[in-house]
Amino acid sequence: MALSCDAYRELAAIVGERYISSKQHILAGNRVKTPEIPFEYHSPDAILLPGSTEEVAAIVKVCNKYGISFIPFVSGVLPDAYANREGTVLIHLKRMNRILEINEEDRYAVIEPGVRHVQLYPEVRKRGLSYTAASVGPGGSVLANFTSTSGDHHTQYGTSRANRYLLSVEMVTPEGEILRTGSLPSGCGWFCPDGPGPGLRSIVRGYFGSHGQLGIITKAAIGLEACKGPAEYRTEGISPHHRVIFDSDLSRVYVFNYDNIQKVCDAMLALGEAEVCSTVQKYFYLPLTLLMTDSANDFWKKWTGGYKEAMSMPLVVHIAAQSLREREYEEKILFDVVRETGGVRLPEELENWWSEHMDFFMVVSRLQSVLRLGGGWMPLKLGADSVQHVCDVGQSIGEYIYEFTETGKIFDAPENYQIIPMEYGHFAHIELLFMWDRTNPAAMKGVGEFRARSRQEDLRRHFHAEDLGCLNPTMEELGPLYSNCHIWMRKIKESFDPNDVANPML
């Protein structure tokens, strides 16, 4: 369905002809790009590039008037950011890319959706501050990470997940009203997400964001922390063969390998109780080997030449202390814990890679190299609970993944999951990343089978291994097992989006 002439004219009047397109080649270029995902995706009917909150609100009002579905778009990483039915427009927010404020004293920044990590992170870092930059690479939208996507990142052990730092926001409701949450509407600034009373932060994001179903967030404030590690760092070489180095005695990276996830769990909890180390995580060994190599051939040589075994369950630890004495104190505890839990320090050749790639602990600038093998990849689970619980989830993967790895349906890397604790071990997140050969029809079929099996095994064990997203068929299916949240979500959506135009998925 193409837009009616009247609708197109009204939309064009809002943004100007330059910032709207319904040309087929433009629209086709903005379809979902992952063919293995078993949904039907459409080209949008138009793409609009608003320049302000007021323009977004006006667009949404026109969409309501003509019954046009709309989807906010900025990084385009998730399939939910693309048209899933006819009669949909994409509201691309990339022009709204201003850093509106960095408040050093009160430690927050106010940003628009188009601000990328590469834009914001250096600005706050040079002020001695930092934020929880999700592990999506420098091109990701900061606002999307805080309000919509999972937002998990490598340094959340000593801090927390991005949504914990989301403060007041300005958003356009599904009916086109401009809404401000938390302390903002009281004229008290951006610092507080909650209240008055229960407030509206509840509908801004839960575990994930609503992907536009409950509104489009056009400005957000995020909390900043003092940066862990030096504010200045040294870079060498040219991307992708560059190195990022902390020239500081206060910063050290150690990597230990384990043979048992329960021992990893013990180590994480012991370090958390002692409140030492800045980063602690069990990383995936497959992307790690890809990060450490320069080509697919190099990867295969090293993967089969011992990297797989040497780093089967790596516990990555970054110490960022405030004094030499504190660093030594933290090291002493770290080595005690590792000794008690049976960790083995990685050979120098492997461990040194980390000290030369400290961007891993800031904004991961080489993430694209994990796609080097050219196959398909997909994250699974993505849930969180206590460190113990997610380690139990991780341990269970070994009980069923072999049926898929041994038949060649997915890459043979059974321990390829990461666990990142948060808040010094109060919670942890798990992500199982699996890869497959896109040229193999059996493997393509196996993708769906493995996804289904992973979920089925978690449900059978009553594991909280995944959370639900927005109001979509999965939520309708699983909602009855999750406190009937599908019913409540439906009621909330109906109340705020009576015309069902805000990224409908049912």
270-299 binders of another protein (CB under 8 A): 273-275
Task: Please identify, among the stretches 40-48, 87-95, 377-385, 442-450, the one whose residues bind another protein according to the rule CB under 8 A.
Answer: 377-385
CB of 163 to another protein, least distance (A): 6
The residues in 143-172 that bind another protein, with binding defined as CB under 8 A, are: 159-161, 163-165
Whether the Cβ atoms of residue 404 and residue 414 lie closer than 8 Å to each other:
no
The residues in 392-451 that bind another protein, with binding defined as CB under 8 A, are: 392, 423, 425-427
Does residue 177 belong to the site contacting another protein (CB under 8 A)? yes
What is the size of the binding site for another protein (CB under 8 A)?
Answer: 98
Does residue 360 belong to the site contacting another protein (CB under 8 A)? no
Cα dihedral across residues 263, 269, 272, 274: positive or negative: negative
Residue type, 476: E
Does residue 249 belong to the site contacting another protein (CB under 8 A)? no
Task: Please identify, among the stretches 133-141, 232-240, 401-409, 460-468, the one whose residues bind another protein according to the rule CB under 8 A.
Answer: 460-468
Query: Does the N-terminal peptide bond of residue 504 adopt cis geometry, omega within 30 degrees of 0?
Result: no
Task: Please identify, among the stretches 57-65, 198-206, 238-246, 349-357, the one whose residues bind another protein according to the rule CB under 8 A.
Answer: 198-206
Give the span between the Cα atoms of 476 and 263, in whole angstroms.
37
Does residue 72 belong to the site contacting another protein (CB under 8 A)? no
Residue of the chain from 126, 234, 332, 345 that contacts another protein (CB under 8 A): 332
Does residue 470 belong to the site contacting another protein (CB under 8 A)? yes
Residue of the chain from 329, 335, 353, 400 that contacts another protein (CB under 8 A): 329
Does residue 79 belong to the site contacting another protein (CB under 8 A)? no
Give the span between the Cα atoms of 393 and 421, in whole angstroms.
14
DSSP-derived secondary structure letter, 116: B
DSSP-derived secondary structure letter, 375: S
Task: Please identify, among the stretches 53-61, 134-142, 187-195, 410-418, the one whose residues bind another protein according to the rule CB under 8 A.
Answer: 187-195
Closest CA to 67 of 1, 153, 20, 130: 1
Does residue 126 belong to the site contacting another protein (CB under 8 A)? no
Cβ neighbours for 77, distance < 8 A, ≥ 6 positions apart: 136, 140, 144, 149
Cβ neighbours for 16, distance < 8 A, ≥ 6 positions apart: none
Does residue 120 belong to the site contacting another protein (CB under 8 A)? no
Cα dihedral across residues 91, 68, 39, 35: positive or negative: negative
Place of tokens 């904004």: 363
Cβ neighbours for 29, distance < 8 A, ≥ 6 positions apart: none
Element (H, E) at 51: none
Comparison of 22 and 132: residue with beta carbon closer to another protein: 132
Residue of the chain from 11, 204, 291, 433 that contacts another protein (CB under 8 A): 204
Residue type, 225: E
Q: Please, is 164 exposed, middle or buried when counting C-beta atoms within 10 Å of its C-beta (0-12, 13-18, 19+)?
A: middle
CB of 478 to another protein, least distance (A): 7
Residue of the chain from 51, 76, 199, 379 that contacts another protein (CB under 8 A): 199
Does residue 319 belong to the site contacting another protein (CB under 8 A)? no
The residues in 208-247 that bind another protein, with binding defined as CB under 8 A, are: 208-211, 213-214, 223, 225-226
Residue of the chain from 5, 25, 40, 187 that contacts another protein (CB under 8 A): 187
Task: Please identify, among the stretches 30-38, 47-55, 298-306, 318-326, the one whose residues bind another protein according to the rule CB under 8 A.
Answer: 318-326
Whether the Cβ atoms of residue 465 and residue 430 lie closer than 8 Å to each other:
yes
Give the span between the Cα atoms of 222 and 33, in whole angstroms.
30
